[in-house]
Structures are given as C-alpha cells and as structure tokens.
C-alpha cells in the first residue's frame, strides 16, 4: 500500500533532520538527542502496550535497567563482547517479561498498574543491593560498542547507531500495527468476547505485546549503558517509569511517532525549564516541577489524546487507494443442502437457581435460514451465546458439523466455521471499516508478529485485505472501506459486522438481533442480503424479536419462551400456533 504523500514528506523531513543534526546542532543538543532516542524506544513500547493494547505499565524503567545491568556486569567483569551481552540481555528480558506478563496480565483493571509499580520497585531495589552490581554507586568502565572493527566511542558516532535502532523499531512497530496480528492487538481494548469470536487468543496476544515493550526497553538500556559507559540504579526507578508513561501519553499513545514526539517534548521541556527558570525567577527552587506540571495539565486539557493526534488534524488526509477485491484465501468445503449443520440437544444453562435455557432441542440444516424468536427474556441470547461459546452450557449437547461444542473456547469454535455478529455492535472504533472486516479473516492468515514487523507478510496481508474488500462489495459497503468504523450509522455498522463474520468463511452465520435499531428501508436491505447469502450457500441462524422482519425471511422458526422451546416449524404454522400467540400477546 502506498503511504500518503504529505505524511511521507513529513517522515522524510524528520529523518533528514535526524541525519543532519550532529553536523549542525551544538554538542549539547547531540547529547540530548541521544537521550531522546533512548527514551523514544521505551515510549514506543508503551505506545504499543498502553496506548494500543490498553495495559498501563509503570514498570518499564525496570526493563531498561535489566538491559543496562546485564551488559554492564558481563562486559566489565567477564570481558564479554557487547554484542554477546545484547543477546543475553534480550534472552533474560524475554524470559522475565514473559513470566511477569503471565502473572500480572491476568490481573484486570486497576490491579495491573499497581502490580507494575510493585515489581518495578522490587527490581529497582534488587539492582541497588546485589553486591556484584556495585550497589547504589553502580558500575564504571563499560567498554564502547564497536561495529565491524569501528569503535563507536565518540558520541556523534553512537548517535547514528542509536537513531538507526530507533527508526528501525518505529518501522517494525508501524508494520506490526498494520498487519494481521496488529489488528488483533488493536482490537484488544474492545474486550475479549469479540476477538475470541474470531479466533484471537487475548491472553497470548497481551503477553506478546508486553514482551515486545519489555524488549524495546531492554534495548534502550543496553544502548544507555554503552553510551554512558557507567550505570547506577537511579535512572531505573519508579519516577523514571512514570516519566516514560508521561512521554507516551503526552506524545499521543496511539501512533508510533507519538513516542518520539513525546520523548522529545518532555526531554526538551525539562531541560529548558531547568535552564530558563532560574534565569527568569532568579532563584533555585522547584519552580521547574511546578511549571512542568501545569504545562502537562494544560496540554492534556487542550489535546487530551496527546500531541500527535492534535497535530495530525492539521495534516490533510489523502484517501488511501482501495485495495482490489479478490478471492485468494482458502475456502472450506461447504456441506451439501439439508445436511445437519447444528444440532442442539437438551441444552441447559443455569445461573445459580435461575434456569435461563431449559433443555432446548432444535437443529439447523445446511443452506437454511432459521430464526430463533421469542419475547424479551425468553433465553434467545443465552442460547445463542451457548452455541458461539461465549457461555458454557450446564448440560446437554451442542454439535456443529458432528463436533461437540460444549467445553470448547470461543476461539476454537470459530475455527470450525462458525461466525457471529453482536447484538450491541462491537467494531473497533479506531480502525477503518476494511481493517475491521479483515479482522474476521484472522484465522485464514498465518503470518505472526515477527514476520509482520519485518514486512515478510506482503502476500498474506494483500490476500486478507482483498478478501475484506470482497466481503464489503458483497454486502454493498465497498465505498466506505477507508472510513473510520465509528463514523458509520448504526445500520451500516451492523452490516459491517456481517461482512466481518463472512470474512472468516463461515459454514454457519449467527446473527444476534441484526435488525435491532434499523429503519424500515435498512431492514429491507438486510433481509435481501440474508437471502442472497443463503443463495450463495451460507447457513444462517438468527435471533430476532421483530416478527415482521423474520416472517418473510426464514425457512423455519424456533420459538422460545421462559427458556423453553414453545414451538418450531414453518413460519406460517408457528404464527398460527395458539401457544405462540399467547406468549406474544398474552391473550
């Protein structure tokens, strides 16, 4: 995909400034830029972890310390090459990050930030007490890095090394976010039910993001040790951890360049305040912390999403070229007509003493459209959630294509060829329509995080986007492909959900109240779409309580009331059933 021209020019300009800086800027600013580069790496990890995946961490400084101390100890005391210690540091960070992620990421809500404070403090203290680490005085005499026999001892030379690493990291993270695993990461904030329904494992994805952020922090620490040639525990404490979070949030924790902007802004602001204020006010005090704090508050009040989104408003957004629609992904074999697809037998779900679904039995055959209807509170949605795996049935049996579903997680069920929409639309607001739909094809791609970060996923990615485009054309929303999902009206958002479900190439499509909140014309279009899908071989089970919508559409109806099956059969027959009439009209 081609980048936008304006954005491209801006990026090239920034890279040019970075490349020329040592030749024009005074030495003092080169030093500052070195630190900005190091901070950017950590902030970049936080953009991914906190801004995109929604997991707040105060503990990143501890991972920086892990990288710095690993190389400091091994180069000074064992004479290892910095390149060898880099590998060791990364291996240690991977292990520690994975274990900490495993423990702390299972904590929801506010437990996580506090846990990161807790282990951040513990690791910091550890650095200060272990004798081999030199206590709070630290370790001196760390050798410089040399590259192909060329020593990067001079600060200007190391400057280029740091910024090449930073730019490479920015490139890799931007690639990652614009890919199959990236879409899964960006969807995490939406909650787990939706991503699981498309085969994403939320726990594993979160841990992976946590480890990436830790690795970027470790890399920054390794560079720091060889830039300073000296380490002590101070820069790895909780205060620095808070500052990294500041950088990410002030910069705008949703875009990769926000990390660089935030790191630059916070670093320069602090330096200038420390420099200027005593000159203006004439005495040393904590004036800089007061002014710094007030400025932060003001910035967030006027640009609450950070500086990057604020600035982006002034950059004209050129429309990206639409990807070509195409059918390049593998398809599953669709069952022939009338073969049983879904068999629900005596399914039961109790919540404590309440029986929400009581021994319901019905089946859906291939290429049929079956409606599951009933008055409010009849147990339709619960029944639906049992099938999709969002809830687990208490007893009974639910078989899909001959396989038992009870006990299987939603992600495994979706792998079998079952896709769903949600009663309350669950689209990722920060992604475009086509990206949302491509998330549906998650299980049909295979390229993972590393391949995506290195752009080795071009074929896979193009095929996923082509498939997403094909589904958007199929449902008639192709012209909205690059709109933000949240900008569409509710009716169209529901249709986008259908396209997303279709992108997973389902045998059975589960629609949860697809007509709720739609206007009359939209309902007619929706009914026409469902009929077309049926004609193309898709089997549909839909939950609905709009009788008019259902009547002309479905082949068969299953009526639930108070958790029990009341009737089933052809729409006309069911409609005439006195028991059904009583349930609906109370007569």
Partner 1 sequence: MDATIAALLTQDGLTNGSIYCLLALALVLVFAVTRVIFVPQGEFVAFSALTLAAFEQNKLPGTVWLLLALAAVAAFADVLSRWREPKRMLRSIAGTSLPSALAALLVWGVASAQMAFSIQVLTTIAAVTAMGPAVYRLAFQPIANATVLTLLIVSVAVHFVLTGLGLLFFGAEGVRTTAFTSASFTLGSVSISGQSLLVYAFTIFLVIAMAVFFKFTLFGKALRATAANRTGARLVGISPNFAGSLSITLSAAIGAVSGLLIGPIATIYYDSGFLIGLKGFVGAIVGGLASYPIAAGGAIFVGLVESFSSFWASAYKEVIVFTLIIPVLLWRSLTTTHHEEE
CB atoms within 10 A of CB 74: 18
Q: Number of residues in contact with partner 1, rule: CB under 8 A?
A: 45
Hey, what are 147's tokens?
Answer: 């590259």
Task: Give the nearer residue to partner 1 in terms of CB position, either 285 or 489.
Answer: 285
Interface with partner 1, residue 110, by CB under 8 A: yes
Interface with partner 1, residue 429, by CB under 8 A: no
Closest CA to 7 of 244, 320, 246: 320
Which stretch in 18-26, 189-197, 408-416, 579-587 sits in contact with partner 1 by CB under 8 A?
189-197
Task: Give the nearer residue to partner 1 in terms of CB position, either 282 or 535.
Answer: 282
Q: Which of 20, 87, 99, 122 binds partner 1 (CB under 8 A)?
A: 122
Task: Give the nearer residue to partner 1 in terms of CB position, either 210 or 292.
Answer: 292
Buried/exposed 278-296: b ≥16 CB within 10 Å, e otherwise: eeeeeeeeebbeebbeeee
Q: Which of 253, 378, 393, 511 binds partner 1 (CB under 8 A)?
A: 253
Q: Which of 15, 164, 276, 297 binds partner 1 (CB under 8 A)?
A: 297
- In 382-450, DSSP assigns E strands to 395-400, 403-404, 418-420
The residue written with tokens 């550890």 in the block is 126
Interface with partner 1, residue 532, by CB under 8 A: no
Hey, what are 560's tokens?
Answer: 């639930």
Query: What secondary structure does DSSP assign to 351-383, as a single string?
Result: ETTEEEEEEEEEEEETT-EEEEE-STTSSHHHH
Interface with partner 1, residue 161, by CB under 8 A: no
Q: Which of 7, 81, 193, 271 binds partner 1 (CB under 8 A)?
A: 193
**Which parts of 80-201 fold into alpha helices (H)?**
82-104, 111-129, 155-177, 180-187, 192-197
CB atoms within 10 A of CB 180: 25
Q: Which of 292, 384, 400, 549 binds partner 1 (CB under 8 A)?
A: 292
- Give 437's DSSP letter: H
SS3 335: coil
The secondary element (H helix, E strand) that includes residue 397 is strand 395-400
Q: Which of 25, 121, 406, 412 binds partner 1 (CB under 8 A)?
A: 121
Q: Which of 285, 377, 402, 552 binds partner 1 (CB under 8 A)?
A: 285
Interface with partner 1, residue 99, by CB under 8 A: no
Interface with partner 1, residue 419, by CB under 8 A: no
Interface with partner 1, residue 245, by CB under 8 A: yes
For residues 345 and 361, the answer to whether their CB atoms sit within 8 Å is yes
Q: Which of 8, 154, 204, 304 binds partner 1 (CB under 8 A)?
A: 304
Hey, what are 427's tokens?
Answer: 């689209």
Interface with partner 1, residue 8, by CB under 8 A: no
Which stretch in 110-118, 223-231, 364-372, 412-420 sits in contact with partner 1 by CB under 8 A?
110-118
Interface with partner 1, residue 289, by CB under 8 A: yes
Q: Which of 290, 315, 570, 576 binds partner 1 (CB under 8 A)?
A: 290
Interface with partner 1, residue 39, by CB under 8 A: no
The secondary element (H helix, E strand) that includes residue 260 is helix 256-281
How far is it, in rounded angstroms, from Cα 219 to Cα 224? 9
Q: How far does the chain reach from its first CA to its final CA, in angstroms?
A: 61
Smallest gap from Cβ 289 to partner 1, in A, equals: 4
State the virtual CA torsion across 175, 176, 177, 180 in degrees, nearest 10.
Answer: 110
Counts of helices then strands in the chain (DSSP H, E) = 23, 14
Interface with partner 1, residue 293, by CB under 8 A: yes
Which stretch in 63-71, 99-107, 157-165, 334-342 sits in contact with partner 1 by CB under 8 A?
99-107
Which stretch in 87-95, 151-159, 246-254, 521-529 sits in contact with partner 1 by CB under 8 A?
246-254
Site string for partner 1, 309-348 (x = CB under 8 A): ----------------------------------------
Closest CA to 496 of 411, 537, 435: 435
The residue written with tokens 């400091």 in the block is 72
Smallest gap from Cβ 386 to partner 1, in A, equals: 16
Q: Which of 16, 17, 91, 106 binds partner 1 (CB under 8 A)?
A: 106
Task: Give the nearer residue to partner 1 in terms of CB position, either 362 or 422.
Answer: 422
Interface with partner 1, residue 377, by CB under 8 A: no
Interface with partner 1, residue 60, by CB under 8 A: no
The residue written with tokens 């094809």 in the block is 441
Q: CA dist 302 to 83, 270, 295, Å?
A: 45, 20, 11
How far is it, in rounded angstroms, from Cα 58 to Cα 501? 37
The alpha carbon of residue 314 and the mean position of all alpha carbons in its chain are separated, in whole angstroms, by 26
Residues of this chain that bind partner 1 (CB under 8 A)? 50, 56, 103-104, 106-111, 113-115, 117-119, 121-122, 125, 191-193, 242, 245-246, 249-250, 253, 285-290, 292-294, 296-297, 300-301, 304-305, 423-424
């Amino acid at each position: 995909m081609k980048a936008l021209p304006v954005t491209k020019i801006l990026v090239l300009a920034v890279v040019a400034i970075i490349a020329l800086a040592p030749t024009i800027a005074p030495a003092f600013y080169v030093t500052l830029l070195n630190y900005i580069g190091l901070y950017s790496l950590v902030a970049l990890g936080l953009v991914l972890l906190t801004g995109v995946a929604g997991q707040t961490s105060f503990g990143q400084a501890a991972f920086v310390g892990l990288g710095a101390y690993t190389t400091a100890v091994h180069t000074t005391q064992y004479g290892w090459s910095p390149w060898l210690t880099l590998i060791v540091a990364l291996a240690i960070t991977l292990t520690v990050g994975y274990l900490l992620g495993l423990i702390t990421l299972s904590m929801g809500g506010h437990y996580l930030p506090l846990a990161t404070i807790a282990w951040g403090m513990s690791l910091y203290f550890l650095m200060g007490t272990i004798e081999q680490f030199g206590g709070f005085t630290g370790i001196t005499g760390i050798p410089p890095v040399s590259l192909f026999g060329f020593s990067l001892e001079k600060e200007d030379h190391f400057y280029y090394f740091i910024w090449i690493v930073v730019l490479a990291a920015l490139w890799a993270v931007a690639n990652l976010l614009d890919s199959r695993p990236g879409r899964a990461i960006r969807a995490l904030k939406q909650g787990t039910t939706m991503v699981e329904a498309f085969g994403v494992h939320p726990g594993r994805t979160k841990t992976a993001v946590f480890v990436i952020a830790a690795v970027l922090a470790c890399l920054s620490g390794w560079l720091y040790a060889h830039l300073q040639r000296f380490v002590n525990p101070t820069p790895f404490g909780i205060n620095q951890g808070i500052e990294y979070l500041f950088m990410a949030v002030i910069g705008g924790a949703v875009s990769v360049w926000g990390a660089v902007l935030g790191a630059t802004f916070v670093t320069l602001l602090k330096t200038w305040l420390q420099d200027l204020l005593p000159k203006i006010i004439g005495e040393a005090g904590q004036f800089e912390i007061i002014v710094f704090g007030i400025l932060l508050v003001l910035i967030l009040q006027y640009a609450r999403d950070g500086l990057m989104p604020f600035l982006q408003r002034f950059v004209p957004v050129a429309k990206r070229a639409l990807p070509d629609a195409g059918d390049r992904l593998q398809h599953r074999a669709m069952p022939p007509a009338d073969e049983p697809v879904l068999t629900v037998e005596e399914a039961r779900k109790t919540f404590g003493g309440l029986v929400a679904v009581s021994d319901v039995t019905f089946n859906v055959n291939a290429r049929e459209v079956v409606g599951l209807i009933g008055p409010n509170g009849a147990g339709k949605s619960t029944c639906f959630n049992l099938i999709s795996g969002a809830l687990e049935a208490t007893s009974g049996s639910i078989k899909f294509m001959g396989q038992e579903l009870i006990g299987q997680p939603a992600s495994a069920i979706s792998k079998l060829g079952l896709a769903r929409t949600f009663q309350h639309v669950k689209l990722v607001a920060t992604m475009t329509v086509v990206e949302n739909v491509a998330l549906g094809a998650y299980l049909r791609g295979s390229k993972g995080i590393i391949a995506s970060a290195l752009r080795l996923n071009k074929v896979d990615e193009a095929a996923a986007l082509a498939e997403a485009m094909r589904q958007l054309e199929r449902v008639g929303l192709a012209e909205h492909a690059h709109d933000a999902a949240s900008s569409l009206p509710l009716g169209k958002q529901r249709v986008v959900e259908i396209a997303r479900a279709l992108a997973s190439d389902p045998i059975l499509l589960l629609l949860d109240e697809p007509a709720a909140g739609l206007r009359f014309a939209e309902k007619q279009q929706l009914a026409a779409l469902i009929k077309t899908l049926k004609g193309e071989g898709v089997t549909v089970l839909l939950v609905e309580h709009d009788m008019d919508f259902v009547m002309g559409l479905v082949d068969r109806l299953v009526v639930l009331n108070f958790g029990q099956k009341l009737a089933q059969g052809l729409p006309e027959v069911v409609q005439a059933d006195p028991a059904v009439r009583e349930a609906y009209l109370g007569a």
